[in-house]
């Protein structure tokens, strides 16, 4: 199955999280996390981690932009 890439912009980054406000993050699929209003993000250390969904705004990008973003990761 070819899952579309998702990206989100961080709108909240507290002192205890490895996020940067206004930065674009890659979202990894995690159905179980979504049931609890969390999403799995590749954080600033390059690790995937669960964060509250309300820390982010999901942004739909064209395939061209997604490809360019994935090349920079």
Is residue 22 assigned to a domain?
yes
Tell which residue, 10, 11, 2, 9, has the closest CA to residue 29.
2
Express each pLDDT in 23-57 by its tens digit: 999 999 999 999 999 999 999 999 999 999 999 99
Is residue 33 assigned to a domain?
yes
Is residue 37 assigned to a domain?
yes
At 73, the pLDDT band (50, 70, 90 cuts) reads low
At 16, the pLDDT band (50, 70, 90 cuts) reads confident
Contacts of 48 by beta carbon, 8 Å cutoff, 6+ apart: 28, 40, 41, 42
Q: Count structural domains, the chain.
A: 1
**Mean pLDDT taken over the chain:** 88
Q: What is the pTM of this model?
A: 0.82
Domain assignment of residue 45, given as a range: 6-72
């Amino acid at each position: 199955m070819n899952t579309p890439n998702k990206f989100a912009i961080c709108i909240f980054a507290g002192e205890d999280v490895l996020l940067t406000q206004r930065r674009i993050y890659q979202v990894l699929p995690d159905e179980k996390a979504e049931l609890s209003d969390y999403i799995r993000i590749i954080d600033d250390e390059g690790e995937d981690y669960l964060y509250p969904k309300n820390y982010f705004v999901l942004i739909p990008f064209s395939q061209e932009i997604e490809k360019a973003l994935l090349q920079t990761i």
